[in-house]
A = this chain, B = another copy of it.
Amino acid sequence: MKKAVIIVSGGIDSTTLLHYLTKQKKYDLYALSFKYGQKHKRELKCAKYQCKLLKVPHIILDIPFFGKILANNSALTNKNKKVPYGRYTAENMKRTVVPFRNGVLLSLAIAYAENIRASVVFYGAHGGDHFTYPDTRPEFEQAMSLAGQLGTFNKVILKAPFNEMNLDKTGIVKLGLSLNVPYEHTWTCYEGKSKPCRKCGSCNERIEAFEKNGIIDPLLTRG
């Protein structure tokens, strides 16, 4: 079976993708998470839980410089900046941008793939992604995939299956529910607290995706 790396943040998109690909059994999966100084470290525990559940080998790459040096302007990593509340708008989303985050994380994932001789890097980008983050756009992903193919011996490509399947977050939750993904062990809130704040853009989006599937987010009803 071909080896593939999958980036798992511990959020809904990547966790659903992990379950989906595990069920497909087409690839020998290696999960990769990043500790980049994010306030919401709880997501890493969730990533670990899900990988253990599915028996997928998992490493967490510690890249603290990302928070320290590169990302001081982002509310996601700077303790002095408040995570914006309410629904995402172009203005408040900019405050959560870690500069070129996906560019750095994808290139690290490609390097890891090259090192373990995997030829694919999977990640959970999807058509419903907010287009305010320039490094989540499909045309950016294609350029990075090309760079991966041209810059490695193993011709590592990127794949974002949810983009190909034309799924948005509601569609992803629908798929995940059919796969019995334990969503109570995923994390989305940008705040570093023990319970979701229910106020930040990420929480809003998550809650809505479950509501549109006719259920309450299991994370909110958990013990």
Contacts and interface: CB of A to CB of B under 8 A. Distances in A.
Interface in A100-146: 100-104, 106-108, 110-112, 114-115, 134-135, 137, 139-140, 143-144, 146
Interface in A139-192: 139-140, 143-144, 146-148, 150-153, 156
Interface stretch (A19-27, A40-48, A70-78): A70-78
B103 A148 contact: yes
Q: How many copies does the complex hold?
A: 2
B115 A110 contact: no
A63 B104 CA distance: 12
A40 B97 CA distance: 35
Given A139-B150, A146-B143, A147-B140, A100 B110 contact: yes
A75 to B, nearest CB: 14
Contacts of A108: 70, 104
A137 B153 CA distance: 12
A4 B97 CA distance: 21
A116 to B, nearest CB: 9
Contact of A151 (B62, B103, B114, B153): B103
Nearest to A74: B115
Given A70-B108, A110-B100, A114-B100, A140 B151 contact: yes
A72 to B, nearest CB: 7
A111 B72 CA distance: 12
Nearest to A105: B107
Interface in A34-72: 59, 61-63, 65-66, 69-72
A196 interface: no
A212 B73 CA distance: 48
A203 to B, nearest CB: 25
A135 B115 contact: no
B99 A103 contact: no
B140 A100 contact: no
Contacts of A111: 66, 70, 98-101, 103-104
